Every structure is written in C-alpha cells, then in structure tokens.
Amino acid sequence: MESTYKINYYKMTLFETVGFTSKEFIYFVCFAFLTPEQEDKFTLVLKMYFDLLKSEYIVLKYIVLVC
C-alpha cells in the first residue's frame, strides 16, 4: 500500500494497493482518491476493498474508489 499526497491537479491523495505473484511480478489491486487525507478515509477505503473481495457474486477487474 502506498499513498501520495497533493501531487496532482486536484490536490487529492492517491492511495494504491499492489500485489506480488510467486514469480515476483507486481500487479495493481486497488486505487482510491481521498480528500482530505485523514485516517478515517483510509479505514473506509480498506473496509470497502475487503468487502468487495469477500463478495462471492462479484468478479472484479478494476477497483477505483473516490472518497
């Protein structure tokens, strides 16, 4: 997980999550734009992300969250 702060035009935090394969390839899992940068926003994004992963009826290709 990584977060960049106020580097884009809209001054929003970009929170990204990546994963690694067994052959050490990196893949992107989730992106979220947050405004303002507060701990409760990160908690909300992680909760939404894990709820989506636990859903048995949804096949995800991309996840982009804006909070």
Question: Which residue has 């394969």 as its token pair?
Answer: 21
Residue 1: pLDDT over 80: no
**d(Cα 50, Cα 18) in Å, to the nearest integer?**
14
Residue 36: pLDDT over 60: yes
Residue 44 CB coordination number (10 Å): 15
What percent of the chain has pLDDT above 70? 72
